[in-house]
Each structure stands twice: as structure tokens, then as C-alpha cells.
Structure 1
């Protein structure tokens, strides 16, 4: 194919030279685009600094991108390499790359292991959570993150899925949570911003797909889906399947997965959001009481519905394993609080 003049470089919506990359992704199904978009968002920082599209990088510059992607496993690293290599192959075929040799083809078999990141991010500070929530186009997504961070849990996140507006007290900022495991209810207090998100989520009638970033070249360019009123705060989108009750667990995980992909977040899972909330709650208690001992851990267990174990004939919170990741050292690390004792 004859050479073409590359179009003007674009740095928009966190993707460098977006028009070219969208052309490359035209043949990729919508369900498979997530990893490609994640890589292109990350690579944009390197591309912008060099003012060149990645398809024109030399091997050292490509390695810079691969390090920047911070893969946690060899399989993830190999996937990153495969996607970038296929993009460069496509650019050569389309005449974008000035050098018609793909430098990634001549690397050793264990090359992928070079880019593994040992510093796994598991916890998010309150400031980071607040920023993520503020970037959510859908209150339906934001409320999931907020409720998990402030204490909602239950079997298969049922305390989230079972929440109705009638379970929320605007005056006291208290929320009644119901667990599918035993049908038991409990009451937790949450900040006013969480209550506001619950109200906004309940009022939302349209859901913005992919946080409002639908590829214009996608076969389905409809930006929003209608939400179905079910009586619950978390609502499903209108599909061929009729929903009359609460959403399933898969919907919660799918919405978090989309936010994780769109915002390029590491390990942004139900468990890690909840544990991040526990860590923040522990920080608040430590600042209040000046210590983090059994009494304080039990208070965290109460807020987050930690499971109980049978101890000599009576049930008690299983708080000891929590100390492994909820402790003063971790609080200092996440919040840079060197004055905590």
C-alpha cells in the first residue's frame, strides 16, 4: 500500500493521535476494545512527551511504554506486547511508520518478564476515591463506589443490590443494609456526599455507556440506555430481558470494570474498594482515639459487616486477619501521615 501523510497529531480524551488509533480499532469488536483503549491512554503520556505517535517509536521508546503499563503478570505483559506490535504492523501496512521494520519482532522470548511491576496497588486514598467518583458520568456508578468505600458489603454485594431509597434517612445520614446471606439488616452512618449520590442515582433515568465515551466508529453509537425503575437504588438498563427486581451481582462488577478500564485504574475491585474504605475508617478512628487495638478493629468490623466466627460458643467478629492490611504502617503509607503513633 502506498505511503500516506500522517494526519495532524491529536491529544484529546487522553488518547494521542486519536483519529489514527480509532481507525486501527475499527475492526475490533466493542467488547474487546477495553485493553486497547487502556494501552493507548497510558501510551499517550510517552507519546505527548516525544510528540510522536507510538507507531514511529524505536525499541527503547516502546520499552518505556511497556514499563509504563505496569503489568502484574507475564501473561498481561505479553498481551500488552501483542497489542502494541499489532498496532505497529498495521501502521506499517497503512504507510504511517517511516521505518517499515517492526522492532518488536526481534526480541527474546522472555522479553515480557522485563516489564513486570512488583509494586501492586491495592488501596486507594479517600482523595483518590473522591476524584474517581467526581469523574463518573453516571451517579449509578458513583454510588456503587461510594457505598462500598463507606461500608456496604454482604454476600455477592447484596447490601448494595438490596438498597431502596426508603432505607435511607436524609436527616441522620443512616442507611439500612440487607444481606442476602441471612436476611439480616444492619444500620450504618455514611457521609452526606454518599447520601447525595444515593438520591442522584435514584433520580437517574438514562445511563451513559462507557461513561459517555462511545467510539464514533462503533456499530452501536447510541450514547445512553434507558434505566428501568425497580424500586431499588441500583437500576438495570433496559434490554430484551425484563427486570422487575434488584440487579444481579454481575452488573455491579461489570460497571466497576468499565470504570477501571476508562480511568485506567489498577485492581479497582469490590474487595479493594471496601478495604480502602476500612483503611480510611481506621485512620479516622486512630486520629480520634490515638490507638488501633481490638476495640477500634471491632468498630471497623461493625461498619463494614465483617463476618463472624464461633468463639467458645458465641459469635464474634473475625478481626485478627484484618490487621494484616489495616494497620498504622499502611495508614502512614497511603496517607503520608508520619505523625501517627
Structure 2
């Protein structure tokens, strides 16, 4: 018996990618009319028939959710993935986990592979780069997709977005350090031109402006190694700095680790605040003051929204922010009697 033509056969016949054929089949308006006609003609030439109801049924009944994470080496994302998987399990879905490793090409291939295996939905914390190609791949899949933590498109884009309130977190951190008596506060970490960097930094900048303080920003990779290097640079070039807000806890943990060798007492000579509240922040020396993103609650919200979209057709809001709170520990100079949690 002759094998039925596939979407790959159509793509070969039309001289386009499989993703482009999928976009045409879904009626996506982004495809040029000339390309649309070529794909339709190729379908007619080889006798390809698209079974839309079968494709929808496969997706809706697979019971699988694709979770694509930009960097699972970062414990923040690992903690999210674990919490999200448990929440989905309670809802009767299984999680297929993929680590993009900050490689947009790998990310795109994984999305295509998961779509071919009929996942019912995607949760993606995307890596940056080749955004248009990644969005095209997601559109071609025709699968409900929720972006978390990072966004590949501007406000009002086609894919809904859920993230912590980074701006408010930056404000909480800066206000706390000023209340602790810091006069010169630096912001450490985060790469240029990344929306998440701008958001986490913007709260810090606005508070310093309100208090008439000059900002100092040292940008770089969000790693412990960068934190160590940044602490040494502050000691060498900016000894007046008495407080730092770090892009994430990894940078902050690097700063704490470097302080003894630099002759600085964390929490006294230099007050340190991180961002994320990963598990290691509770066990550092001294314990790290940080902005908590409430990962278990965040994961539960993301799981509920993707399941409701799949089961009920209820799409999430175009953009939503989850609450953050300041978790006060000894790295910012707070003694045991003062320690606590703030979310104001």
C-alpha cells in the first residue's frame, strides 16, 4: 500500500520549511500570499490532506505538557521545574522537560520535536536570540503556549506572559538598603538590553533617584564567578560602596564568598541583597537577604493557567505579574531580633 503524503513531503515539494507548511495549514496571516499559494499547490500535486480534527484530538488527549527552560543549571529554574511538574501531576498531566542551555537553535529544535510528539501545551522560559524563528516554530505547532519569567515579544504579543513583579522587587531591595543606612548602593549583574535586567534594575534606579543618590551598575553574567569578580572590582575601584543589589542570588552568593578574602565583612562593611530566594540563599554565610519570587505559588499559577487553556479553552491574560516579597536575613546587616519578611 502506498504511504500517504506527509507534511514533510509538502514542504519538500513547495521548497519551504515544515514550520511554514504548518503555518499555512493553520491559516496564519504572517505567511506571504505567494508562499501560501505554493504550499497549497504542492498539497494538491502530491495529494496531501490535512486532518485537522485528528491533529487537535492528538494534542488535547496526549496528557503531556512541554516545559522548555533556558538554563536548568540555574537552581532557580530547577526549583520552578520541580514545583511545576508536581502541580501538573496533581492535574493529571505529565511534564516533558527540555533544557535549552541558552541556545536558541537548540530551543527551536526541541520545540519542534515536542510538537511532533503531540504535547497538549507549552510552558517556556525562553533563551534570547533568534526570537522570530522561535515564535514561528511555536505558532506552527498550534499549541497553547505560556511564556514565563522571560518574554520573546513586546506587550500585546500573541503569546501570554507570566512573570514575577521584578520592578517592585528592585524597589523593595533598594528601600531596604537605604533603611539600613547604606549611602552608596550598586547594582551587580545582568546583561545589557535584556528586558528582565532592565526590569530588575529599574526599581533600584527609581528609588535612588527619589533619594538623590547616584547609581552604580556593573553588568555581567548572572553567575557566582561574576559576583566574585564584581566584589573585587568594587573593593578596588569603588571602596565607598556599602550596599549591593544583585541581579540574582547566584551573583549575590559570589559576592558573599569573595568578601573574606577581600577583607570585607558581609552584612557590616558591605550589605548584600539577592533576587530569587533559591534554597542556597538560606544556607549561605551569612544567610542572604533576597527578593522571593514565591516559586511554589508561581508554579501553581502557571500550571492552573495552562491546564485551563487546554481543557476549557480559557486563554491566560496577555501579561500578568505575580507578587514578590523581601526576605530579610543577616547579609544586609539585620540582627536576629530584626529578621523577618516583608511584602509591602
- TM-score, normalisation: structure 1: 0.22
Give 1 or 2: higher helix fraction.
1
Give 1 or 2: higher strand fraction.
2
- TM-score, normalisation: structure 2: 0.22
